[in-house]
Amino acid sequence: MASTGGRAEAHTAGRDGKGPDGSKGRGASGDTEPGATGTPQALAGEAKGAVEAELGGPDAAETARFLSKVLLPTLARGVLVRRPLMESLVSALEADRGIVSTLRDLRERHGDGPLPLRLAGRDAALVLAADDVRTLLEGTPDPFSSGGREKRGALSHFEPHAVLVSEPEERPHRRASNEQALATGRVLHPDGDVIAAQADEEARALLAALGDGGVLDWNRYSASFDALARRVVFGASAAGDVRTTELLRRLRARGNWSYAAPVQRTVRAEFLDRVGRAVDRAEPGSLAAGLSRKAGSHPEDQAAHWLFAFDAAAIAAFRSLALLTSYSPGAHAAREEIQETEGLDLPLLRATVLESVRLWPTTLAVLRESNRETVWRDRVFPAGTAFVVMSAYFHRDPSRLPYADEFAPEVWIDGRAEEDPGILPFSYGPAGCAGREVVPLTLSLFLRSLVRDRDLTRVDARGPLPASGLPASLNHFALRFTLPGRGA
């Protein structure tokens, strides 16, 4: 990141296209219109004269449209824990389609941005070009912090010392502890066999509880998935610890209000104490067994984050079931893999999970906060600007991605998704999801055990997903599947 007198030139960040972790590194996306993105040379030259230009933002009508079509549906759904009623409304209205069209129109009228906004009395900027996503994510934690006021406010309700809201001096060793335990960067976790056994046991227990002809709905499924998450994080002895998950859910519901809701300190203390004791007892092969115990590393907060994040994984896997039962050719291929493949390596099933979070991202917006003034094209953004990346806009814009509305697992195998800086279901760069490999691994193993011996069918009112033209939103709470009897 080049910097001039304490001001960061965002254009120059990551233009070599190589992230420190090697991800998302191969070339520009082709996303930006010719001439719209200044090269570093252009910035150093004539464009620099224009750098002090006034920040021009959207007009009143555009701001109103942004608030009603983008911000409101995003916040109403619940950022940390989804609200079923709102999720159903958002799906019925295909609100994610509205996010894509609103942001596309803003880009057409205002250029590549980022587009300055005032949100709740603070400076914000809407990211509109995929190359700018890379600049932000690879410029983390300096000059773009992954913490930020809103995130700290939300997560302090249950994980005040988690890596993603850590101060710069604490971040490196907490990140290293997460990466070590989660084996970040390795497709197959070294304890994959243990994860496979846990996934298989939980899937069998769920199938047995459903019985022949049983209906798999969100409530039954998520109770089982929560138990799987506790098993994978702490070991089999934690499978029945429903209380910890319940406490977390209460605290997350408060977290939806960020710093507008006071922290329930007694509930948080009980929750973190339970997690801390579970970390102390972590069984060999569990994820928590790999966490650092060094002073200041707060393993209980890191594990608390994992339990929280496994909820997104639950949603992703349930929607993956909807993909696997769809009429798409991709579903057929993935189901063949299920029948034919032993062992841990299930590339098509992992790609199904990744498609699930591309098509219906569980992280609705990725945020960064600049810790000094930054320069983007002809605009200067003050320190403290909140940069907002709306995942759906980058993942589902058919004018950008020919496969935007298709189930296309192949894009995760042939490198197209990896090369596109706008595809960020797990984010990337130094503060990207540390679980981005262990999550698809765990889910692929769970899905295989769930589906291998049973002909799962989607039976809710909407029926199986079509072969192409997938809906912009998919309400996971409303999905229902049947498991016909073995003789059926």
Of 11 and 161, which CB lies nearer to ligand HEM in the complex structure? 161
Closest approach of Cβ 155 to ligand HEM, in Å?
10
Closest approach of Cβ 432 to ligand HEM, in Å?
5
Closest CA to 383 of 3, 6, 5: 6
Answer whether the bond into residue 284 is a cis peptide, omega within 30°: no
Closest approach of Cβ 467 to ligand HEM, in Å?
24
Closest approach of Cβ 164 to ligand HEM, in Å?
3
Half-sphere exposure of 365 (CA within 13 A, CB side): 25
**What residues contact 125, with CB distance under 8 A and at least 6 apart?**
113, 114, 115, 116, 117, 376, 381, 385, 386, 387, 388
Of 43 and 412, which CB lies nearer to ligand HEM in the complex structure? 412
The CA–CA distances, whole Å, from 355 to 80, 240, 265, 359, 482 equal 21, 31, 38, 6, 23
Closest approach of Cβ 171 to ligand HEM, in Å?
7
- Which residue in the shown chain puts its C-beta closest to ligand HEM? 435
Of 111 and 114, which CB lies nearer to ligand HEM in the complex structure? 114
Of 151 and 454, which CB lies nearer to ligand HEM in the complex structure? 151
| Contacts with ligand HEM, residue ranges (CB under 6 A) | 137, 146, 163-164, 175, 178, 182, 287, 305-306, 309-310, 312-313, 316, 357, 362-363, 366, 425-427, 431-435, 438-439
Closest CA to 378 of 9, 4, 5: 9
DSSP-derived letter for residue 258 is G
State the Cα torsion 68-72-74-77 to the nearest 10°: -130
Distance CA 42, CA 40 (A): 5
Of 21 and 270, which CB lies nearer to ligand HEM in the complex structure? 21
Cβ(308)–Cβ(248) under 8 Å? yes
Burial 331-353, CB ≥16 within 10 A → b, else e: beebbebbeebeebebbbbbbbb
Of 58 and 432, which CB lies nearer to ligand HEM in the complex structure? 432
Dihedral of alpha carbons 217, 223, 225, 228, sign: negative
Closest approach of Cβ 197 to ligand HEM, in Å?
17
Of 314 and 483, which CB lies nearer to ligand HEM in the complex structure? 314
Q: What single-letter amino acid sits at 240?
A: G
Of 178 and 370, which CB lies nearer to ligand HEM in the complex structure? 178
Of 369 and 405, which CB lies nearer to ligand HEM in the complex structure? 369
**How far, rounded to the nearest angstrom, does the alpha carbon of residue 357 sit from its chain's CA centroid?**
7
Distance CA 30, CA 21 (A): 22
Closest approach of Cβ 157 to ligand HEM, in Å?
16
Closest approach of Cβ 453 to ligand HEM, in Å?
25
Closest approach of Cβ 435 to ligand HEM, in Å?
3
Closest CA to 321 of 282, 291, 349, 361: 349
